[in-house]
């Protein structure tokens, strides 16, 4: 009985961790801006120098892009003339399949670049 209860609790914990992944929880980083399918694409500036990662918001741990941006560089999403979504990071534009996406800033990236540049 205890084994069944433990197995059931573990199963719920794993399912909760997997099912809650609507914001790329498996890739470390600070969420900066997110496009939600069907909504107006947000656009802003990179808040700090650093490494930014574009991810699908739906449980995909493979980055769509990884870019080094400077504070003030364009960062976000826009709509193409075709109606498709385009991710924008600095001067790079990436046309994406229909879906929801998020830009994250990787932790410590600015510190690593400062250390490497010295």
Please report, in tens digits, the pLDDT of each residue of the chain (118 residues total): 454 443 434 333 333 333 333 444 456 889 999 999 999 999 999 999 999 999 998 876 789 999 999 999 999 999 999 999 999 999 999 999 989 999 999 987 554 444 344 4
Give me Rg for the CA atoms of the chain: 18
Tell me the pairing of strands 85-89 and 92-96. antiparallel
What is the pLDDT, as a whole number, of residue 18? 38
C-alpha distances in Å from residue 33, one per residue of 23, 40, 90, 112, 117: 11, 12, 14, 23, 28
Could you tell me which residues are beta bridge partners of residue 52?
A: 67, 105
């Amino acid at each position: 009985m205890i084994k069944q209860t433990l197995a059931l609790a573990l199963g719920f914990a794993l399912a909760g961790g997997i099912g809650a992944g609507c914001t790329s929880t498996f890739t470390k980083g600070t969420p900066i801006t997110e496009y939600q399918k069907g909504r107006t694409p947000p656009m802003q500036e990179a808040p700090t120098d650093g490494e930014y990662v574009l991810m699908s918001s739906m449980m995909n741990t493979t980055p769509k892009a990884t870019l080094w941006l400077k504070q003030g560089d364009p960062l976000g999403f826009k709509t193409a003339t075709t109606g498709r979504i385009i991710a924008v990071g600095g001067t790079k534009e990436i046309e994406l399949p229909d879906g929801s996406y998020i830009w994250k800033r990787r932790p410590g990236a600015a510190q690593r670049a400062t250390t490497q540049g010295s």
